[in-house]
Amino acid sequence: MSVLVLWTGMPNGHRIVRSLRDAGFRVVAAHPEGHGGGRGWGHLRPLRYPPVLTDPDAFVAWVARTCDERGIHIVLPVDEDITRVLAFRRSALGDVRVVGPTATQYDALANKGRLAAATAALDLPTPVTVEVDDLAADRTGWPAVPCMVKPRTSGSEIDAPQRVGTEAERDALVERLVASGHGAVLQELIEGQRWVVQSVRGPGVFEHVVHRVDLEWPRGCGLATVKRPFRGPQAAVDAARALLDAVDYHGPSGISVIERDGLFYAHDVNLRLGATTGASVNAGFDFPRRAVQAALDLPGTAFDGRMRPGAVHMRLDKEVEAVLDAVSRRRPRVVLARLRRIARVGLNPAGMLDPSPFNVFFAGHLASRLTRRSRPHASPQHKDTPADADAAPPGAPPVAPRTV
């Protein structure tokens, strides 16, 4: 069978392509036009598709035409914008099968305002959450600052979730999100240990790995950069599975859960193969292969739950950004601590630096990330945290508190 992989950039695109090819699928790689990335040894010349955000009609037409001309049976969206667009336009692809959510499933779980309603309906712990479409709206019930401000849906052109400490910061970010047409979600600040449940769900199938997040960038309120597979906590798995069961979703997912005082708050859901797909692969779970097989009820060897001892995954590109940040702030001890952490993961036989520093395509990827103008994102906590003094050894207690 043939699979069209939509978005093949670093760090996860090349790994997804390789996993599916190794499983016997004929893979067609595609990446957005106007972007130099998306290449790997198995896909040196990926197809180029129209911009999904500025011209979704042309993008969907391109996907339908490409599937028809190349005899493609399965579409696997990797990018968040593509996942959202195809969720609402699946009918345009006819009989082609999409490994991703329907419109109803996407709206229920990937919409950050609706996610709170979904968790509450399942009697799961739920932070105070308010959707805002008008800055002049009644503010009764708004969570107190500090709090989190999020766009209603994720995307490459939208402000990332951000912790705000004052009403002025909150109002400015809410105003920007409302003016953009995306709307804002205000959410109570929940601090605690972050866990990520990466799973695939299909007919009679639920396979997963739980990862403990030891470090993020920006520190304390950003993307997970250091993750270790962990047995449990079962409550985090139960919360993730309950959400997926509630909408009968078949496909891959990554669900972030924050633990506070013995309660587990699901705060973010990705219904796709996310940027840290490699963490589960490194743990022994062939996440991309099983995502396609389980979602479409295809034959394949199931994951038996056994994880690689001592496994640790690091987003190398993000930790390089952390090193450069410390350099810019003239913190030599922090620079050395962060470099030592990178070295420890790289020298660990069960460690994965992702992307690999030996990948010849990584240099260009890293340069483009560090030189292009960044969109607004969660404000870095520039204080040097205990996590910057030493990396946690396997089995150590939680390292870095996480905020919703």
Q: What is the pLDDT of residue 137?
A: 78
Distance of CA 34 to the CA centre of its chain: 23
Query: What sign results for the dihedral spanned by CA atoms 345, 156, 83, 219?
Result: positive
Q: What is the pLDDT of residue 219?
A: 86
DSSP character string of 343-369: HHHHHSTTEEEES-TT-TTHHHHHHHH
Residues forming beta bridges with residue 26, ordered by sequence position: 2
Cβ count near 112 (within 10 Å)? 23
- What's the Cα-to-Cα distance from 303 to each of 201, 290, 349, rounded to whole Å? 12, 8, 22
Residue-range domains of the chain with CATH = 2-98 (3.40.50.720), 128-188 (3.30.1490), 191-403 (3.30.470.20)
Distance of CA 322 to the CA centre of its chain: 19
For residue 270, which of 297, 299, 289, 291 has the smallest C-alpha distance? Answer: 291
DSSP character string of 274-295: -TTHHHHHHHT--HHHHHHHHH
Q: What is the pLDDT of residue 396?
A: 45
Look up residue 391 and give its amino acid.
A
Chunked in runs of 10, what are the mean pLDDT values of the chain (404 residues)? 96 94 98 88 92 96 98 97 97 97 97 92 95 84 92 71 91 90 90 97 98 92 92 95 98 97 95 97 98 96 97 97 96 98 98 91 65 45 53 44 40
